[in-house]
């Protein structure tokens, strides 16, 4: 059985999130995934600022999104981030956006992040030691 | 030999496009792809408004992006949209973001759009007739 | 003594809210004021959708913002909307953004909204009757 | 007669600039003013990067916007920045957004910027010497 490390966060749709079709503009979903990733970081101690203090950025290098159903203004959604263990020096997440107002799955997403030295601006080819310890502490099986 | 129908557009990076890493925030690339798609529409007669007047929206249902190199404020990029013919009732595009300031390929993207009736808000399972005519007029081989 | 009808809402700063100066980009404050206005609408029954159902949009025609202190990524703010009664066919709000992490007032704002018919797209010169009733119900003294 | 130092730039409205009212969301005008300010900077040698290289940021501390007429998707606008000389250690601009498709004035704006040391993050109380020289070179009368 696969056990997920995951976190979720409720998101209120802003009027400014919508477009002239009357639904949330597709590019704004990236903000919702960011919210879920940060909720995960807060829950498990891996926020953007935690990572930055250890000397790293973790930019997104790949993302793929599937839109299943539109989101209208006034609807409420839940963004879910599921951590996906990997042996490589990457951070992988699967995301879901659930539309609480309609009960429908609105979108799914997969992202790949790498470790970039704040000073060097070079990509790390092996996992930074602080990250290996973080995995160990959480009991993450790869 | 595969002949592409394609269009490109220069894009100036806005200060508001950047984030605290000092580079363009990954979600803002979706705006650049949108610019390239619209440049294609203007060149070949398939803008958002052309399609809307025929009774359709063409929302993005899938997108996948690869980030190869960051873009800094002050740099200039070119966004390129390449039309990808398909027999199904979908519009497929491949995109590239070239960083003119560094000469590097910054990002690639693939998107899938479907046809949605403006009134019905239902997805069309076969290509709308106006679109079939548009393909024919351009001599698009599927 | 002037009694305010007001509402407040906590806001988490997103990474995408920041710019290359490392602080929240000034244009993004408009989103925070929008959040406070909507929180007010939920508290007192005057949300965007409530107004829309009565046949009106209430677009912003004037806004003035003062920035007192920057907001950094990772900081938490409270957005406060204070309703400002007026005899004219306008909706007036005063806003404050309080930085909870620093205890400082970050920004203030005043906005003016008008009533626009959804169908006519014309500006109303007198208050719509639903709005007069809403004011009466709340006991708003002009 | 008052002589203005001014610059203008054409702006294409993006689909993502619109909201569910079908017009450009009011907060996005700040991006258009930013474009005009940067066009001014390019024309007269006072871009964000020029200023940054001299050791300063010039954040917006005040902005006031008036919206005269909405902008629809597909319309083209011109953003104009007019420099407003002042003896104080501030940069003042007046802006106009002209809707080329309708011939109407869409919005006006006034902004105030201050000089902030990149290192100190403190506000300068007198004009930095590079800026005094810039004014002199342009023959700006205060």
Predicted pLDDT of residue B1: 46
Across the interface, whether the CB atoms of D15 and B35 are under 8 A apart is answered no
**Nearest residue, CB atoms, C31 vs list A14, A30, A34:** A14
Any chains having at least 3 CB pairs less than 8 A from chain B are A, C, D
Query: Quick one: pLDDT at residue D1?
Result: 45
Residues in C touching D70 (Cβ below 8 Å)? 59
pLDDT at B63: 98
**Tokens at B126, concatenated:** 């076969």
CB pairs under 8 A between A and C: 34
The architecture that CATH gives domain D5-138 is Roll (3.10)
Low-confidence ranges of chain C (pLDDT < 50): 1
HEC sequence for chain C: CCCCEEEEEEEECCHHHECCCCEECHHHHHHHHHHHHHHHHHHHCCCHHHHHHCCEECCEEEEEEEECCCCECCCEEEEEEEEECCCCCEEEEEEEEEECCCCCEEEEEEEEEECEECCCCCECCCCCHHHHHHHHHHCCCC
Q: Which residues of A touch C38 (CB under 8 A)?
A: 12, 14-15
Model pLDDT for residues A7-17, shown as the tens digit of each residue: 999 999 999 99
pLDDT at residue A1, as a whole number:
46
Higher per-residue confidence, A38 vs A4: A38
> Cβ–Cβ of D57/C27 closer than 8 Å?
no
D57/C21 touch (CB, cutoff 8 Å), yes or no: yes
Whole-number pLDDT of residue C1: 46
Q: Of B101, B117, B91, whose CA–CA distance to B37 is shortest?
A: B91
Give all chains having 3 or more CB-to-CB distances under 8 Å with chain A: B, C, D
The pLDDT of A104-122, averaged and rounded, is 96
Q: Which residue of D has its CA nearest to C118?
A: D21
Give how far C90 is from chain D: nearest CA, Å: 14
Nearest CA in chain A to B20: A57
CB atoms within 10 A of CB B25: 24
Tens digit of pLDDT per residue, chain B (142 long)?
A: 456 799 999 999 999 999 999 999 999 999 999 999 999 999 999 999 999 999 999 999 999 999 999 999 989 999 999 999 999 999 999 999 999 999 999 999 999 999 999 999 999 999 999 999 999 999 998 8
Q: How far is B31 from chain A (nearest CA, A)?
A: 7
Inter-chain contact C20–B25, Cβ cutoff 8 Å? no
Q: State the average pLDDT over residues A117-127.
A: 95
Report domain extents, chain B.
Answer: 5-138
Given an 8 Å threshold on Cβ–Cβ distance, is C26 in contact with D59? yes
Q: Give the model's pLDDT for residue C10.
A: 97
- Inspect the interface and report whether the beta carbons of D16 and A22 lie closer than 8 Å: no
Nearest-Cα distance to chain C for D126, in Å, is 19
Chain B residues with at least one Cβ partner in D under 8 Å = 12, 14-16, 30-31, 34-35, 38, 47-49, 73-74
Contact across the interface for C18 and B22, Cβ inside 8 Å: no
Cβ contacts (< 8 Å) between B15 and chain D: which residues? 34, 38, 48
B12, B14, B48 member nearest D15 (Cβ):
B48
User: CB under 8 Å, gap of 24 or more: what pairs does C68-71 form?
Assistant: C68/C104, C68/C105, C68/C106, C68/C107, C68/C108, C69/C99, C69/C102, C69/C104, C69/C105, C69/C106, C70/C21, C70/C23, C70/C24, C70/C106, C70/D59, C71/C13, C71/C23, C71/C24, C71/C97, C71/C99, C71/C106
Q: Which residues does chain B have within 8 Å of residue D74's beta carbon, measured at their own beta carbons?
A: 47-49
Q: Which CATH homologous superfamily contains domain A5-137? A: Hotdog Thioesterase (3.10.129.10)
Averaged pLDDT of chain A: 95
- Nearest CB to C27 within list D30, D57, D67: D30
Q: Which chains touch D (3 or more CB pairs under 8 A)?
A: A, B, C
Closest CB to D21 among C21, C26, C59: C59
Q: What ipTM score was computed for the predicted complex, to two decimals?
A: 0.94
**In the prediction, which pLDDT does A134 show?**
97
Burial class (CB in 10 A: 0-12, 13-18, 19+), A103: exposed
- The structure tokens listed for D44 are 């007269």
CB nearest B16 (choices: D12, D15, D31): D31
What are the tens digits of pLDDT across the range D74-117? 899 999 999 999 999 999 999 999 999 999 999 999 999 999 99
pLDDT-based confidence at D141, cuts 50/70/90? confident
- The pLDDT tens digits for C97-126 are 999 999 999 999 999 999 999 999 999 999
**Matching residue, tokens 């060097």:** A120
* Residues in chain C closer than 8 A to B15 (CB atoms): 19-20, 25
């Amino acid at each position: 059985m696969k056990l997920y490390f995951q976190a979720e966060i409720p998101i209120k749709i802003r009027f400014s999130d919508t477009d002239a079709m009357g639904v949330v503009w597709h590019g704004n979903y990236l903000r919702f995934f960011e919210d879920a990733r940060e909720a995960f970081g807060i829950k498990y101690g891996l926020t953007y600022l935690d990572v930055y203090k250890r000397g790293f950025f973790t930019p997104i290098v790949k993302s793929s999104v599937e839109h299943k159903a539109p989101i209208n203004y006034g609807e409420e959604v839940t963004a879910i981030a599921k951590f996906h263990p990997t042996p490589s020096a990457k951070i992988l997440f699967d995301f879901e956006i659930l539309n609480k107002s309609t009960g429908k799955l609105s979108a799914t997403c997969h992202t790949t992040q790498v470790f970039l030295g704040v000073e060097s601006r070079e990509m790390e080819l092996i996992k930074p030691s602080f990250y290996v310890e973080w995995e160990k502490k959480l009991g993450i099986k790869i």
